A and B are shown apart, each in its own frame.
Chain A
Amino acid sequence: GAVVSQHPSRVICKSGTSVKIECRSLDFQATTMFWYRQFPKQSLMLMATSNEGSKATYEQGVEKDKFLINHASLTLSTLTVTSAHPEDSSFYICSATRQEANYGYTFGSGTRLTVV
């Protein structure tokens, strides 16, 4: 089946630094990538949608200058958390799909970000 590889699985960084999270679709070409965030004991909340070669569309309340998303190819999307602060500590998950009816969604394994 379809696989999305997400790295790193866990990262600890200092306040004020930037962290990059990568998601790669290994066996299919992902035309669309979604980025979600999950705080403890809460649901997965959509942060942004990116289509290959286009600028990402951010959900209300998500700062586009803080969470930089790049989807330069059909197999790679990255999320960079810039100038991270402790309140950015969360679980970040990517999900890939193609623009075909009911194609389905393949999720990465997630990245636990802790900002100290």
Chain B
Amino acid sequence: DQQVKQNSPSLSVQEGRISILNCDYTNSMFDYFLWYKKYPAEGPTFLISISSIKDKNEDGRFTVFLNKSAKHLSLHIVPSQPGDSAVYFCAASADTGRRALTFGSGTRLQVQP
């Protein structure tokens, strides 16, 4: 069973607008969540993380929101830039980040100039 789900395989937004990528999880033991950007044949690039004791974390254009009761997190990118076009993976871990990451299936973001 998929413990981390990204239900939107793709998303297209205009440059300068907001991109919102969503992620749901089922495992209540997850307490550390991360977002990665990935290009084909490359390792994932870390974007932002959040621990379960918070509900929001910001870093520049990236903000991650966590709703523990709904087991849902989202990544907001504002403003979106063409260079943001990539596949974005949501990942979760248990034991305050000491365990392996479980990845979602990814969302391909395309930012149109």
Contacts and interface: CB of A to CB of B under 8 A. Distances in A.
B1 interface: no
A95 interface: yes
A112 B51 contact: no
Interface of A: 6, 10, 32, 34, 36, 42-46, 49, 91, 93, 95, 97, 99-105, 107-110, 112
Nearest to A41: B106
23 contacts: A32-B98, A34-B100, A36-B103, A43-B103, A43-B105, A44-B44, A44-B89, A44-B103, A46-B100, A46-B101, A46-B102, A93-B43, A93-B44, A95-B100, A97-B98, A99-B98, A101-B96, A102-B96, A103-B98, A105-B34, A107-B46, A108-B43, A109-B43
Contacts of A93: 43-44
Interface of B: 32, 34, 41-44, 46, 49, 51, 89, 96-98, 100-106
Nearest to B34: A105
Contact of A43 (B46, B49, B89): B89
Contacts, number: 57
B41 A43 contact: no
Contacts of A36: 103
B44 A102 contact: no
A89 B58 CA distance: 38
Contacts of B106: 43
B71 to A, nearest CB: 18
Given A102-B96, A102-B97, A104-B97, A91 B41 contact: yes
A34 B103 CA distance: 13
10 closest A-B pairs by CB? A107-B43, A101-B96, A102-B97, A109-B43, A44-B103, A43-B103, A43-B105, A34-B100, A46-B100, A110-B43
Contacts of A10: 41
Contacts of B98: 32, 97, 99-101, 103
Residue of B34, B42, B43, B98 contacting most chain A CB atoms (<10 Å) = B43
